Chains A and B, each alone.
Chain A
Amino acid sequence: MARPPVLHRVALAPIYAALVFFAALTLIPFAWMLTAALKAPQDFFSGLFLPRGDGLFGIAWNRLTLGNFLRLFREFGTARALVNSFFISSVTSTLATLFCAMGGYALAKFPFRGRGPITWLVLAALIVPGTLLIAPGYQIIWRLGLLGTYTGLLLPGLAPAFGLFLFRQAMLNTVPTELIDSARIDGAGELRIFFTIVLPLVRPMIGAFLLLTFLGAWNNFIGPQVILQRPELLPLSVANTNLKGLYADDYGLITASTLVSIAPMLCLFLLLQREFISGLTSGAVKG
């Protein structure tokens, strides 16, 4: 751990000032959205953030309302879209993590014929930009008859090349082959070894990757927009944009919808900061 020499408290003051300034810049959009979502349409332009009035600090506290949120859930099926988002993100992340862990294990710990070419193939896929695959991917999903279904949306995302790579690295670094061998000698089956011995050793990577893919799937926009057809199946990312398209002037509604869409991710991050960050950086600093 390297830190610059400890500074005198007073010298820290400008640093705090700078940090507070940047933090304010970062938080203002969130704060504004919150106040906008709590305002009724007629109050929208009465104050920059909170509506002016006779209450404390000259703000009309009694005019704040949850009406926009209620409308969202009652009239626009936001609860449904929320469940869809949770479904898509959680299933994608759990299955992708499982498949990548399994595949990484195989590539790291089994010297079999074909291991070399497969590793190279997947590594090469790392370079391919995702946007190159949208058009042919759409055609293939159509050929399989999976257009408009969740299967068609989820399936392609369950084998991310970088996931395989991350787990392969993790397995190589933290799983001693002797442990596996001694378990084999003891007569344990391959699957049992995988779930009871190998996976616990890569627990940090599992947690980090789960969160990363969850985040990616939660914010995924092109995929659902192109593949899903029925509006009842749409996740929040698409539903929110459609709402903005239809009701562009109803800022209260749009900000409320955006807040509902981003709140779960922010909560997850609040609870699981360390895992998130370790997962992000593990790929970089070593790779």
Chain B
Amino acid sequence: MKSIFGRMLMVLSPGGCIILLIAGLSTLVIIFRPLPGLEGQAVWIYTPRHAEIYKRELAQWNRLHPDNRAHLGLFEYHAFQRRLLSGFLAGTPVGDLIEVERNMIGPTFTGTFDDVGFVDLTDHLRDEGLLEQINAPSFSPWTSHGRIFGIPHDVHPVLLAYRADLVEAAGIDVSKIETWDDFYRVLSPLIKDLDGDGRPDRFLLNLSTSPLQAELIEALLLQAGGELFDGQKRPVLDSELNAHVLARLATWLVGPRRMCVDAPENTAAGDAMRVRGTVIASVMPDWLAGAWKQHMPTLSGKIKLMPLPAWEKGGRHTTVLGGTMIGIAKTAPDFEKSWAIAKYLYLSPQSAEALFRGICIISPVKSNWSLPVYHQPDPFFCGQKIGELFIAQAPDVPLRSSSPYNTLALEKFDDALVSLCDYATRENRYDAGELEPEARRLLGRAQADMERLIARNVFLASQP
């Protein structure tokens, strides 16, 4: 024995010996370590928020259906994205049921029709009458090559949430607000410098050009009737309406009529600002109501909801933000089993109720809308029946594009906004009308970039 150690020390320093030892031990551990065997269908999700709810729902399902059990797999957003693509394109294992978010699904649609790793559900949805039962606009982001690849999770109507305590204490009556211009006019007395340092410490709305807020900007654009892609999925970034919206957004963010501050949702920093009262109002899709209740319990009884101020008189009072679907992977061993679980998780009244109780999301199934859970007063929102309020806006919710390049187009739109704000600050021009020509020019550049990018894709180009 001694000679072996002696010989090892002739060759390896103490450090080397340690590493060799670690190598040997860890190899043994790795070889004999059991990998958790997960039985049944794998349901992949990316957000911890759904994890709690689905765990309970699946536990119930597993009790009732011991022959069709399912388990949950939670993955970090970007890891999830990568594994999704790797699974579809390189054949590495993916879940059987996969819940994806709107921004994740783009890359799966940029290849040929056969490359899409989800099962085409169009015929199943039609045959079971689900196409009529589900709110039609909810299908839009999940459609590609003319076929539907997932069951939608939501409707995601949007309202405006505001600090009722601060607003009413200042004697302001929000029922007079009809448009965004009204919003600024009526609430601007609240923009104040509270600590005497010459800079305002209270703002009216949470919005900025940071990438975390890009979806919010898209939501506002859609509310105004603008769009990034037309019905044929061709980019239309440089339309007149888009330029108009861009210019007006810039005046909200910089200049003497600035009313926005960067208080991103679901971050500690943003929440601290909301609790402090640095932000008066936020654009609130239904799922955000649930998040606020969880993260900022001290705001209970201080928040009220109202329809979004429209862009023009008589315009839309709501928009759409976010979107999730559940798809079934082509590699799932048993389609019928997966289909059953998907329908249960997404469409059943039980899940609808659990979902609303847990995170305030409205089910896309219209018949579920009469469930009592949607019509109860919510103490967080000063007794308002928020389920009813959101459902009331459901018919007006705009369509979301299903172009796989939507995320990229949105990035370029956001970039244009940043450039426009810089331009406004440099040229000291803060009137929306003055900014429109520059907005048009910036969007024209973004449009050219998008066209070049899309034209480049040889796989899509070969498809009808």
For the complex, give the distance between the alpha carbons of A94 and B25 in Å.
13
Contact between chains at B10 and A229 (CB < 8 Å): no
For the complex, give the distance between the alpha carbons of A225 and B82 in Å.
9
Question: Which residue from B22, B77, B91 sits with its C-beta under 8 Å from A245?
Answer: B77
Contact between chains at A206 and B12 (CB < 8 Å): yes
Given contacts A87-B27, A200-B10, contact A142 B19 (CB under 8 A): no
Is B86 among interface residues, defined by CB-CB distance under 8 A? yes
List the A side residues contacting B78 at CB < 8 Å.
245
Question: Which residue from A94, A147, A232 sits with its C-beta under 8 Å from B86?
Answer: A147
Question: Which residue from A87, A89, A241 sits with its C-beta under 8 Å from B29?
Answer: A87
List the A side residues contacting B7 at CB < 8 Å.
196
User: Could you tell me which residues of chain B, from 9 to 36, have a CB within 8 Å of some CB in chain A?
Assistant: 10-16, 18-20, 22-23, 26-27, 29-30, 33, 35-36
Most chain-A CB neighbours within 10 Å: which of B27, B35, B76, B93? B76
Most chain-A CB neighbours within 10 Å: which of B35, B48, B74, B90? B90
**Chain A nearest CB, measured from B191 CB (Å):** 26
Contact between chains at B14 and A245 (CB < 8 Å): no
Contact between chains at B48 and A247 (CB < 8 Å): yes
For the complex, give the distance between the alpha carbons of A242 and B26 in Å.
23
Chain B binder among A120-128, A157-165, A207-215: A207-215
Contact between chains at B19 and A211 (CB < 8 Å): yes
List the B side residues contacting A150 at CB < 8 Å.
30
Contact between chains at A199 and B23 (CB < 8 Å): no
Is B428 among interface residues, defined by CB-CB distance under 8 A? no
Is B267 among interface residues, defined by CB-CB distance under 8 A? yes
List the B side residues contacting A249 at CB < 8 Å.
266-268
**Chain B nearest CB, measured from A99 CB (Å):** 14
Is B79 among interface residues, defined by CB-CB distance under 8 A? yes
Contact between chains at B75 and A231 (CB < 8 Å): yes
Contact between chains at B19 and A93 (CB < 8 Å): yes
Is B83 among interface residues, defined by CB-CB distance under 8 A? yes
For the complex, give the distance between the alpha carbons of A231 and B93 in Å.
12
Given contacts A83-B29, A203-B11, A242-B76, contact A147 B92 (CB under 8 A): yes
For the complex, give the distance between the alpha carbons of A276 and B156 in Å.
57
Given contacts A87-B29, A246-B48, contact A148 B11 (CB under 8 A): no
Is A195 among interface residues, defined by CB-CB distance under 8 A? yes
Beta-carbon contacts of B248-283 to A below 8 Å, as 1s and 0s? 000000000000000000111000000000000000
Chain B binder among A61-69, A170-178, A181-189, A267-275: A267-275
Contact between chains at B79 and A86 (CB < 8 Å): no
Given contacts A232-B35, A242-B76, contact A210 B15 (CB under 8 A): yes
List the A residue with the shortest CB-CB distance to B51: A246
Contact between chains at B77 and A229 (CB < 8 Å): no
Chain B interface, >50% SS class: helix
List the B side residues contacting A84 at CB < 8 Å.
30
**Chain B nearest CB, measured from A183 CB (Å):** 15
Number of A-B contacts (CB under 8 A): 107
Given contacts A87-B30, A150-B30, A242-B76, contact A206 B11 (CB under 8 A): yes
Contact between chains at A229 and B92 (CB < 8 Å): yes
List the A side residues contacting B16 at CB < 8 Å.
206-207, 210
Contact between chains at A94 and B19 (CB < 8 Å): yes
Beta-carbon contacts of B78-98 to A below 8 Å, as 1s and 0s? 110011001100111100000
List the A side residues contacting B36 at CB < 8 Å.
232
For the complex, give the distance between the alpha carbons of A210 and B48 in Å.
40
For the complex, give the distance between the alpha carbons of A142 and B86 in Å.
10
List the A residue with the shortest CB-CB distance to B295: A249
**Chain A nearest CB, measured from B292 CB (Å):** 14
**Chain B nearest CB, measured from A154 CB (Å):** 11
Contact between chains at A200 and B11 (CB < 8 Å): yes
Beta-carbon contacts of A85-114 to B below 8 Å, as 1s and 0s? 011011101100000000000000000000
List the A side residues contacting B267 at CB < 8 Å.
248-249
Most chain-A CB neighbours within 10 Å: which of B22, B35, B83? B22
For the complex, give the distance between the alpha carbons of A250 and B81 in Å.
23
Is A230 among interface residues, defined by CB-CB distance under 8 A? yes
Question: Which residue from A80, A147, A206, A268 sits with its C-beta under 8 Å from B90?
Answer: A147
List the A residue with the shortest CB-CB distance to B30: A87
List the B residue with the shortest CB-CB distance to A244: B76
List the B side residues contacting A204 at CB < 8 Å.
13
List the B side residues contacting A93 at CB < 8 Å.
19, 23
User: Could you tell me which residues of chain B, from 426 to 456, have a CB within 8 Å of some CB in chain A?
Assistant: none
For the complex, give the distance between the alpha carbons of A90 and B91 in Å.
29
For the complex, give the distance between the alpha carbons of A199 and B79 in Å.
43
**Chain A nearest CB, measured from B331 CB (Å):** 13
List the A side residues contacting B74 at CB < 8 Å.
246
Given contacts A91-B27, A150-B30, A246-B48, contact A211 B15 (CB under 8 A): yes
**Chain B nearest CB, measured from A216 CB (Å):** 13
Question: Which residue from B13, B29, B90, B93 sits with its C-beta under 8 Å from A275?
Answer: B13
List the B side residues contacting A86 at CB < 8 Å.
22, 26
**Chain A nearest CB, measured from B362 CB (Å):** 25
List the B residue with the shortest CB-CB distance to A148: B92
List the B side residues contacting A225 at CB < 8 Å.
79, 82
Contact between chains at A207 and B13 (CB < 8 Å): yes
Contact between chains at B79 and A90 (CB < 8 Å): no
**Chain A nearest CB, measured from B46 CB (Å):** 9
List the A residue with the shortest CB-CB distance to B7: A196
**Chain A nearest CB, measured from B27 CB (Å):** 6
List the A residue with the shortest CB-CB distance to B29: A83
List the B residue with the shortest CB-CB distance to A80: B33
User: Could you tell me which residues of chain B, from 21 to 72, have a CB within 8 Å of some CB in chain A?
Assistant: 22-23, 26-27, 29-30, 33, 35-36, 48
Beta-carbon contacts of B90-108 to A below 8 Å, as 1s and 0s? 1111000000000000000
Given contacts A87-B29, A147-B90, contact A229 B83 (CB under 8 A): yes
**Chain A nearest CB, measured from B388 CB (Å):** 31
List the A side residues contacting B23 at CB < 8 Å.
87, 90-91, 93-94
Most chain-B CB neighbours within 10 Å: which of A91, A232, A268, A275? A91
> Top 3 A-B pairs ranked by shortest CB distance?
A207-B13, A90-B23, A242-B76
What would 12 more interface pairs be, CB under 8 Å, given A87-B23, A199-B10? Answer: A83-B26, A94-B20, A147-B91, A148-B93, A199-B11, A200-B11, A206-B13, A206-B16, A207-B13, A210-B19, A232-B35, A268-B15
What are 29 of the A-B contact pairs (CB < 8 Å)?
A83-B26, A83-B29, A83-B33, A87-B27, A87-B29, A87-B30, A89-B22, A90-B20, A90-B26, A94-B19, A147-B92, A148-B92, A196-B10, A203-B10, A203-B12, A207-B13, A210-B19, A229-B87, A229-B92, A230-B35, A232-B35, A241-B76, A245-B77, A246-B74, A247-B48, A251-B268, A271-B14, A272-B14, A275-B13
Q: Which residues of B contact A (CB under 8 A)?
A: 7, 10-16, 18-20, 22-23, 26-27, 29-30, 33, 35-36, 48, 74-79, 82-83, 86-87, 90-93, 266-268
